[in-house]
């Protein structure tokens, strides 16, 4: 139990530290990859908490998502290499308020609701994966399918929005 | 025994083993290029070397043949980029300054290469490490600090001081001492260079139009008399006037695009002037124009895909593995799309007759030596033109022999092109096989050609049926019928001209012009394959191969012209003889025509396609008029 | 114990692969060649480019090696001979190999060179092409095994190897794996003729040695994955399990390394078009067919 706690704290600390690095660095690419490693650390926290499937999934998805984000930052941002020592923090007042409210909400969510008794034994990883499959294709199927469809629609719509101005230019 | 480019360190213990390993594992970067070495008859594949595509991975710099003056700076850069211990192996190279002296050298022959390599292995095993090593800095890489007036950019001085116009103190600025020249396609400076004031792009700011000395690269309305941070975005303020010294300016102060601080020349960027004055609806608490890319890129040129990106200028060549050696291709890349291109030959041909008059023999040798990629064709051309001028007739047999010699060179040249295409596109089997066949064919007699004919035809069949070929080359570098072009490039668009149709000798041998439809890189590849097959037939029909001898013109005077279809297209030579000496000569080469197509075939293409397109033109930079 | 055995066999496999690669690229077969080359590489200067992003430059090759090793951890070489038999092994393999992309972007961005940077970002384009085609065929494999554990996936092929059960998935997976390991004709990140070495172009000395080793480990991991998912892993008559694994993995790796010799490189946009228009349709069909077979004929 204690070893688990130490690892959990370690990865939690790493996630926060990488999160801070996102804003401390001047380079867009470093910023994007710091965000990636912050998310990877969260994935590792899931692993420590014995949520194997969730952890592995988080680690996998974030690698690709953040890399794609990095290339967009390089393509569309000025000074991606940080040579101009650009400050990554903007709109500090707004950010402070948003961050403070977010923290408060998170703390309230942790303390206020009744989370029930702490689970003392976690089902084995095989069982978890099987249970997750049954859940996804059973009770929660409708939710997940409609979410998937929504995302697909959004993707297609976004692509179309991106293409239209180009087509006009072509005329 | 030590080598000039030894690595620092005492030679003891494990280092001896490492040195022995280096001697066994020689990796070579070849100048001007493996294809040129091959056409000079040097078989590098057979020398237990590994040929690599970047000097960074090489420990031997092989120089095959005399190194043209235009390539020497670039060669020095390539050498400077090699990690130590590094060595130079010169094959008949002559003067190679500013490179250090070759560690081993021999005449340009295969035997010379083998004996030299054996020597080199001994030298490396014995002297890869040395206690104190000298520095080598390529002049082209050296950064010079010059001083310029913030108010008067036209004032540039080598030493600090005051501006003669306004008396302000001159500020330092970093420039390449040698323009942008000589980056052997490998544009990285070495680590051990001095690193004066960090120049990068932060200095390329917008003209603030005010008198304040410092401004924000993103917010030109921010003007300050002292250096510091921008109150809006926190970026470091930069000197306002520096932008003026960079001509049209570099759009919105890209701080170096990942630190591509090496690009000192940004003439490709049509910057826009300042973001001030835009009035947009603002939201409370949100900075106006917060990170608005729409605004930042306003007025900048857009590429075909409509994406607005930072443009970077990337030099390819003159030693780039996938391009003709000696060609410097500078591509301005917008993402991975080519926004602009500039092809320049670093090995341009000089005037044929400069200085004193030449004897016919000297003239023929000079022209043949000038064209390392097609010596026989140009030799034949020179002889034919001189004979025309002297009204001499070599006879039917000699004509047939010559025609066959040119056809043999065509086979070798096209095979060399196939090998280069294989190298560029990673089709390594083709690169190895075509290269070996090229070496076997060039210089072979009629029986030798007949012996290789089966293998060559098999190779052609294999190329025609190779998978992914259409995907790689189809619809790339399409050239319309209106653009001037020469040689296979011309004939691969459903028509075109071939100087051989006029030649009665070839007509008698059964020549008919090969034509392919399509006008793209794939059509050119297929046409070259067709021509190889046809040349094999022509050589068989001719029955003899004879490289022309210099005609004996004694004291004849006259004028004559000849046209020969070289492997790359029609070359035309006009000579004027006076008293048996060549006094005037004028040459038109196919590459003179085809190099102008580079811009057309690369415009708005993806980088890989653009390089394939340039390669498909089969340029010989030596043919370009200086 | 099995960690040591797996790592040792990995080292042996990487060496064998280096021999094969030298033959495929440079055309000479030499058993001692890679040893000399490695030793020579360690003795050379390891240059650092000016104005480089030092952190990325150093970290790129290391992350690549770590990603490869993580992927190897879930590949069973024989019953019981696996570093860790995760319940989500097949997914974990993907997660580990996703960092190949991150490592290559870092290695491409780090040295401050145009060729390397273009190569790194090109690999992202290539990633979009192969990513779905790695995951979707594995889905069908896991459907048959009713588990994501690599050990159980091998066990599920006792009756019939997946290469025969779902040949379409096999082809798609191998092509995608070649994209992931940037093997020719999908070798955009180190295309010699196009980018003079690309991501590798600015690495020298020890750093280059790490990069090359990592590449070998990744190729072995993918060959191992192919064998595990489609070629019955350690299953086979007469010989012991580990021998079958070794033979199959080396054969697959050699085939993947040398097939690119015989065709030109294909650029990422074309690969992307092929993968998405044709590949994903076929992968979906494969999942459907496997699902139907699994329900109708239980083998």
Q: Which two tokens stand for residue C11?
A: 């080292």
Please, how many CA atoms are within 13 Å of residue C17, restricted to the half-sphere of its CB?
31
What confidence tier does B304 reach under pLDDT thresholds 50, 70, 90? low
Q: How far apart are CA C186 and CA B541, in angstroms?
A: 44
Cβ separation of A87 and B254 shorter than 8 Å?
no
Q: How far apart are CA B362 and CA B354, in angstroms?
A: 12
Tell me the C-alpha to C-alpha distance, in Å, between residue B150 and each of A57, B213, B221, B253, B358. Answer: 56, 8, 19, 17, 55
Instruction: Tell me the per-residue pLDDT of B57-76, one tens digit each, with 9 for 90 and over.
Output: 888 888 888 888 888 888 88
User: Closest Cα of chain C to B587: distance in Å?
Assistant: 32
Among C36, C50, C264, beta carbon nearest to B426: C264
Cβ–Cβ contact C123 with B under 8 A: no
Instruction: Tell me the per-residue pLDDT of A124-152, one tens digit each, with 9 for 90 and over.
Output: 888 888 888 888 888 889 998 999 999 99
Q: Which two tokens stand for residue B539?
A: 């050589």
Instruction: Tell me the per-residue pLDDT of B307-342, one tens digit each, with 9 for 90 and over.
Output: 666 677 888 878 888 888 888 888 888 777 888 888
Q: Is the N-terminal amide bond of B92 cis, ω within 30° of 0?
A: no
Q: H/E element holding B525?
A: helix B521-542
Q: Which residues contact B488 (CB under 8 A, 6 or more apart)?
A: B524, B527, B528, B531, B568, B569, B618
> Interior CA angle at B444 toward B438 and B445, to 5°?
150
Cβ–Cβ contact A85 with C under 8 A: no
Q: How far apart are CA C163 and CA C227, in angstroms?
A: 9
Return the sign of the alpha-carbon dihedral for residues C169, C170, C172, C176: positive
Nearest to B135 by CA among B89, B194, B88: B194
Report pTM. Answer: 0.81
The pLDDT of residue B333 is 82
Among C87, C112, C127, beta carbon nearest to A129: C87
Q: Which residues contact A15 (CB under 8 A, 6 or more apart)?
A: A38, A39, A41, A42, A45
Chain C positions in Cβ-Cβ contact with residue B53 (cut-off 8 Å): 192-193, 196-197
Nearest to C102 by CA among A14, A63, A81: A63
Interface of B with C in 52-71 (CB under 8 A): 52-54, 56-57, 59
Which candidate in C19, C44, C118, C119 is best for mutational testing of the B interface (most B CBs within 10 A)? C44
Q: How far apart are CA B230 and CA C199, in angstroms?
A: 36
Instruction: Tell me the per-residue pLDDT of C150-171, one tens digit each, with 9 for 90 and over.
Output: 998 998 888 888 888 899 999 9
> What are phi and psi for residue B156, nearest 5 degrees?
-130, 125
Is C253 within 8 Å of C20 (Cβ atoms)? yes
Instruction: Tell me the per-residue pLDDT of C67-113, one tens digit each, with 9 for 90 and over.
Output: 999 999 999 988 888 888 888 889 999 999 999 999 998 888 888 77
Q: How far apart are CA B306 and CA B297, in angstroms?
A: 12
User: Closest Cα of chain B to A130: distance in Å?
Assistant: 43
Residue A17 predicted with pLDDT over 60:
yes
Spell out the alpha helix ranges (H) of A49-140: 52-76, 92-111, 125-136
Cβ separation of B258 and A77 shorter than 8 Å?
no
The pLDDT of residue B263 is 34
**Closest chain A residue to the Cα of C86, Cα to Cα:** A125
Domains contained in chain C, number = 1
Q: How far apart are CA B593 and CA B570, in angstroms?
A: 10
**Closest chain A residue to the Cα of C60, Cα to Cα:** A33
The pLDDT of residue A107 is 92
Chain A positions in Cβ-Cβ contact with residue B260 (cut-off 8 Å): 81
Instruction: Tell me the per-residue pLDDT of B433-482, one tens digit each, with 9 for 90 and over.
Output: 999 999 999 888 888 888 888 999 999 999 888 888 888 888 888 888 88
Q: Which residues contact B26 (CB under 8 A, 6 or more apart)?
A: B48, B49, B50, B59, B60, B117, B120, B121, B124
Nearest to C198 by CA among B336, B575, B279: B336
Tell me the C-alpha to C-alpha distance, in Å, between residue B101 and each of B88, B96, B136, B193, B552. Answer: 8, 7, 12, 22, 41
- What domain range includes position C252? 2-296
Q: Tell me how far apart the terminal alpha carbons of chain C are, to the nearest angstrom.
A: 34
Among C36, C202, C263, beta carbon nearest to B427: C263
Cβ separation of A68 and C124 shorter than 8 Å?
yes
Q: How far apart are CA B466 and CA B482, in angstroms?
A: 31
Chain A positions in Cβ-Cβ contact with residue B291 (cut-off 8 Å): 77, 90
The pLDDT of residue B413 is 92
When mean pLDDT is compared across A142-146, B188-192, B540-544, C97-101, the lowest value belongs to B188-192
Please, how many CA atoms are within 13 Å of residue B465, restricted to the half-sphere of its CB?
5
If you search the block for the tokens 């000479």, which residue do you land on?
C28
Q: What is the mean pLDDT of residues B185-213?
A: 35
The pLDDT of residue B306 is 60
Task: List chains touching B (3+ CB pairs under 8 A).
Answer: A, C
Q: How far apart are CA B291 and CA B277, in angstroms?
A: 16
Question: What interface predicted TM-score (ipTM) does this complex get?
Answer: 0.87
When mean pLDDT is compared across B212-226, B575-589, C187-201, the lowest value belongs to B212-226
Share of chain B above pLDDT 70, in %: 73
The pLDDT of residue C167 is 92
Q: H/E element holding B587?
A: strand B581-588
The pLDDT of residue B364 is 85
């Amino acid at each position: 139990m204690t070893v688990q706690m130490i690892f959990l704290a370690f990865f939690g600390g790493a996630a926060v530290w990488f999160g801070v690095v996102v804003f401390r660095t001047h380079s867009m690419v470093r910023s994007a990859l710091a965000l990636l490693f912050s998310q990877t650390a969260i994935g590792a926290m899931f692993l420590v908490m014995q949520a194997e499937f969730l952890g592995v999934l988080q680690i996998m998805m974030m690698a690709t998502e953040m890399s794609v984000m990095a290339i967009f930052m390089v393509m569309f941002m000025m000074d991606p290499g940080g040579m101009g020592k650009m400050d990554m923090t903007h709109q500090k007042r707004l950010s402070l308020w948003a961050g403070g409210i977010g923290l408060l909400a998170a703390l309230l969510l942790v303390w206020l609701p009744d989370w029930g008794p702490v689970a003392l034994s976690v089902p084995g990883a095989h069982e978890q994966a099987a249970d997750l499959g049954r859940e996804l294709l059973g009770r929660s199927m409708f939710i997940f399918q409609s979410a998937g469809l929504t995302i697909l629609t959004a993707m297609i719509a976004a692509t179309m929005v991106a293409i239209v101005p180009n087509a006009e230019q072509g005329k | 025994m030590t080598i000039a480019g030894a690595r620092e360190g005492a030679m003891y213990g494990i280092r001896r083993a490492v040195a022995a390993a280096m001697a066994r594992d020689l990796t070579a970067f070849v100048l001007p290029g493996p294809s040129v070495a091959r056409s000079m008859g040097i078989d590098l594949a057979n020398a237990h070397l590994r040929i690599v595509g970047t000097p960074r991975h090489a420990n031997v710099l092989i120089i095959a043949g005399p190194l043209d003056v235009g390539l020497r700076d670039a060669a020095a850069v390539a050498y400077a980029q090699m990690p130590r211990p590094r060595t130079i192996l010169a094959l008949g190279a002559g003067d190679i300054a500013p490179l250090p002296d070759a560690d081993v050298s021999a005449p340009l022959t295969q035997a010379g290469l083998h004996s030299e390599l054996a020597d080199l292995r001994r030298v490396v095993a014995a002297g890869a490490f040395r206690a104190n090593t000298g520095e080598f800095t390529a002049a082209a890489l050296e950064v010079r600090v010059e001083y310029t007036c913030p108010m008067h950019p036209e004032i540039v001085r080598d030493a600090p001081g005051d501006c003669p116009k306004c008396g302000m103190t001159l500020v330092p600025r970093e420039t390449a001492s040698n323009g942008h020249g000589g980056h052997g396609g490998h544009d990285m400076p070495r680590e051990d260079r001095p690193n004066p004031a960090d120049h990068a792009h932060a200095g390329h700011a917008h003209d603030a139009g005010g008198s304040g000395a410092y401004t924000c690269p993103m917010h030109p309305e921010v003007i300050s008399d002292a250096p510091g941070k921008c109150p809006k975005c926190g970026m470091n303020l930069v000197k306002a006037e520096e932008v003026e010294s960079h001509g049209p300016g570099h759009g919105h102060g890209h701080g170096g695009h990942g630190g591509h601080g090496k690009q000192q020349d940004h003439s490709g960027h049509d910057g826009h002037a300042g973001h001030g004055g835009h009035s947009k609806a603002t939201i409370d608490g949100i900075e106006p124009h917060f990170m608005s890319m729409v605004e930042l890129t306003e007025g900048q040129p857009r590429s075909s895909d409509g994406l607005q990106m930072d443009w970077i200028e990337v030099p390819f060549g003159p030693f780039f593995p996938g391009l003709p050696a000696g060609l410097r291709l500078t591509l301005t890349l917008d993402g991975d799309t080519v926004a602009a291109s500039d092809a320049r030959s670093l090995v341009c041909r000089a005037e044929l007759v400069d200085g004193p008059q030449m004897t016919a023999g000297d003239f023929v040798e000079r022209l043949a030596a000038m064209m390392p990629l097609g010596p026989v064709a140009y030799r034949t051309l020179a002889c034919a033109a001189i004979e025309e001028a002297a009204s001499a007739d070599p006879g039917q047999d000699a004509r047939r022999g010559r025609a066959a010699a040119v056809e043999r060179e065509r086979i070798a040249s096209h095979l060399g092109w196939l090998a280069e295409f294989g190298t560029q596109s990673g089709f390594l089997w083709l690169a190895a096989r075509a290269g070996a066949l090229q070496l076997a064919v060039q210089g072979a007699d009629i029986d030798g050609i007949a012996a290789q004919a089966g293998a060559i035809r098999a190779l052609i069949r294999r190329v025609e049926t190779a998978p992914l070929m259409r995907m790689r080359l189809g619809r790339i570098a399409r050239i319309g019928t209106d653009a001037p072009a020469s040689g296979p490039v011309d004939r691969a668009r459903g028509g075109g001209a071939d100087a051989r149709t006029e030649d009665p000798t070839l007509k008698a041998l059964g020549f008919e012009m090969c034509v392919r439809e399509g006008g793209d890189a794939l059509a050119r590849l297929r046409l070259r394959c067709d021509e190889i097959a046809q040349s094999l037939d022509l050589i068989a029909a001719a029955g003899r191969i004879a490289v022309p001898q210099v005609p004996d013109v004694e004291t004849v005077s006259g004028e004559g012209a000849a046209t020969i279809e070289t492997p790359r297209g029609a070359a035309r030579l006009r000579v004027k003889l006076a008293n048996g000496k060549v006094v005037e000569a004028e040459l038109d080469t196919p590459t003179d025509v085809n190099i102008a197509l580079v811009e057309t075939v690369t415009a708005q293409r993806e980088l890989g396609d653009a390089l394939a397109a340039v390669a498909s033109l089969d340029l010989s930079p030596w043919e370009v008029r200086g | 114990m099995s960690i040591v055995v797996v790592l040792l066999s990995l080292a042996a496999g990487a060496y064998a692969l280096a021999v094969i690669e030298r033959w495929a690229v440079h055309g000479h077969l030499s058993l001692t060649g890679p040893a000399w080359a490695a030793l020579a590489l360690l003795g050379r200067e390891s240059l650092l480019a000016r104005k480089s992003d030092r952190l990325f430059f150093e970290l790129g090759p290391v992350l690549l090696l770590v990603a490869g090793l993580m992927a190897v951890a879930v590949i069973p070489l024989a019953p019981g001979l696996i570093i860790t038999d995760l319940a989500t092994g097949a997914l974990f393999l993907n997660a580990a190999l996703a960092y190949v992309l991150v490592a290559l972007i870092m290695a491409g961005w780090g040295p401050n060179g145009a060729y390397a940077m273009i190569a790194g970002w090109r690999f992202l384009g290539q990633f979009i092409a192969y990513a779905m085609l790695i995951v979707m065929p594995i889905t069908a494999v896991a459907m048959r095994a009713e588990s994501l554990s690599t050990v159980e996936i091998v066990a599920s092929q006792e009756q019939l190897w997946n290469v025969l059960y779902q040949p379409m998935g096999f082809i798609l997976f191998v092509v995608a794996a070649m994209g992931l390991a940037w093997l020719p004709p999908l070798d955009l990140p180190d295309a010699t003729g196009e980018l003079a070495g690309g991501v590798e172009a600015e690495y020298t000395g020890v750093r280059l040695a790490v990069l090359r080793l990592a590449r070998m480990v990744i190729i072995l991991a993918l060959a191992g994955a192919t064998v595990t998912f489609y070629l019955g892993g350690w299953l086979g008559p007469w010989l012991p399990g580990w021998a079958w694994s070794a033979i199959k993995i080396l054969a697959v790796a050699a085939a993947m390394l040398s097939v690119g010799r015989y065709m030109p490189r294909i650029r990422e946009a074309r690969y992307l078009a092929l993968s998405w228009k044709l590949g994903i349709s076929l992968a979906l069909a494969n999942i459907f067919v496997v699902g139907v077979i699994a329900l109708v004929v239980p083998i």
